[in-house]
Amino acid sequence: NQTIRTTATAKKTFPGSRTLSMNFTREENLQTERIDYTFPDLSYSQPARSLFTRKAGGQKQWYHNLRYSYNSKILARGSRIPVTDNASGQITGFDRTYNSGWKHDIVPSYSFKALKYFSFSPSLSLEELWVPEYLEYAYSDSLDRVVVADTVKEFRARHLARGMGMSVRTTLYGLFELPFSPLKVIRHKMDPSIGFSYQPDYSDEVYGYYQTFKNAAGREVRGDRFANNTFAGTPQGEQRNMNISVSNLFQGKIIRGEEEKKIDLFRMTVSTSHNFALDSLRWSNLRTSLQAKPHPKLNFNFNAQHTFYKPRANGRGRRDEFVWSDGFALPSLLNWDVNMSYSLSLRPPEKKSPNAPAPGDV
């Protein structure tokens, strides 16, 4: 295909690390004469900041830990799609599409310590979407599915609360001595955490984001009124998750003569989650990641996923039975990948200044 692609980007940074960026893209297929473009694509980002600023010299209060971040994005996409005559193959006209939306994300945050060693962090992510049009659906008996009946040119808003919950974490330390090696001490820092989060089922009719019908078999089928927006569709399905993770950092102290050096050996994180709202297969995959930097220019990354459940008889998918139900067994490996990268810097030889003194000159 012969295509012409045009892109333009502008970015402005304001005090407080706030940023405003604008992007434009246009792609034209010279053979089919189809044009796709994105404009406007406008983003504003404000990093986390205190909701209540502490006065200079004032004593810190609990509400000074209340913070929030804000992100906003206006995104529109359009297309000019050629319509061809079936007999002659000639272009007889063009269909035009255009979708837009404006999304706001507010993430409040707060953390506090309790029982001396535990840090608690409530969580909440608020999302609001504004669209100039939405979809109306009808059920087609002949097709036995939900079909779009109309596109209503009218403003509509969608409000989502994601990740409502609480997490708690602590830190444990361990030291291991290796007297017969240049690596004299290994320090192990472990950060276990457990959290609970909740997200309602936004396909419920009470929210008004979905239309619900019953098919010939009596099962409920739904259509998302926000399915055609430039952002993601409306999430469905209740989530009541327990998230568990253990982050490990291994550090070492190398002693050669009078020289002492501290290094990070590797990081390893293990995590999984349990969704209480599901009828089966409540445990997600066990995810493991490991990062190491044995040399300043060498990076090593390893990732793996394991499952707690046995495979189905046909080998596709999982059944609701743990791998250890018939006796001791470890989680089954699903996939893994290793990535190594080495950075090289090629620089031209430095030119000597004509006025530079010759070697040995004073």
Assess whether pLDDT exceeds 90 at residue 85: no
> Which of the four pLDDT bands, split at 50, 70 and 90, describes residue 297?
confident
Beta bridge partners of 201: none
At 118-156, the pLDDT tens digits run: 999 999 999 999 999 999 999 998 888 999 999 999 999
Assess whether pLDDT exceeds 50 at residue 362: no
The predicted structure's pLDDT at residue 254: 82
**DSSP code per residue over 66-91:** -EEEEEEEEEEEEEEEEEE-TTT--E
> Which of the four pLDDT bands, split at 50, 70 and 90, describes residue 303?
very high
> Which of the four pLDDT bands, split at 50, 70 and 90, describes residue 10?
very high
> Which of the four pLDDT bands, split at 50, 70 and 90, describes residue 177?
confident
The predicted structure's pLDDT at residue 360: 52
Assess whether pLDDT exceeds 60 at residue 296: yes
Torsion of CA 191, 50, 164, 118, to 10 degrees: 30
Quick check: 257 and 284 in contact, CB under 8 A? no
Q: Which residue has the higher pLDDT, 242 or 116?
A: 242
Assess whether pLDDT exceeds 60 at residue 230: yes
Cα(127)–Cα(232) distance, rounded to whole angstroms? 12
Mean pLDDT of 2-6: 92
The predicted structure's pLDDT at residue 204: 93
Assess whether pLDDT exceeds 80 at residue 357: no
> Which of the four pLDDT bands, split at 50, 70 and 90, describes residue 294?
confident
User: Please, where are the H alpha helices in the chain?
Assistant: none
Rounded to a whole number of angstroms, the CA Rg of the chain reads: 29
Which of 63-67, 301-305, 338-342 tops mean pLDDT?
Answer: 301-305
Mean pLDDT of 269-293: 95
Element (H, E) at 140: strand 134-140
Beta bridge partners of 269: 247, 289
The predicted structure's pLDDT at residue 292: 93
**For the chain, what's the residue count?**
362
Q: Which of 157-171, 176-190, 273-287 has the lowest mean pLDDT?
A: 176-190
Assess whether pLDDT exceeds 50 at residue 78: yes
Question: Helix, strand or coil for residue 347?
Answer: coil
At 245-263, the pLDDT tens digits run: 999 999 988 877 778 888 8
* Amino acid type, 58: G
Mean pLDDT of 217-237: 91
Mean pLDDT of 302-315: 92
Pick from 304, 312, 296: nearest CA to 339 = 304
Q: Which residue has the higher pLDDT, 177 or 266?
A: 266
> Which of the four pLDDT bands, split at 50, 70 and 90, describes residue 349?
low
Cα-to-chain-centroid distance, residue 86: 44
User: What is the rounded average pLDDT for all residues in the chain?
Assistant: 90
Cα(152)–Cα(102) distance, rounded to whole angstroms? 17
Assess whether pLDDT exceeds 90 at residue 21: yes
The predicted structure's pLDDT at residue 61: 84
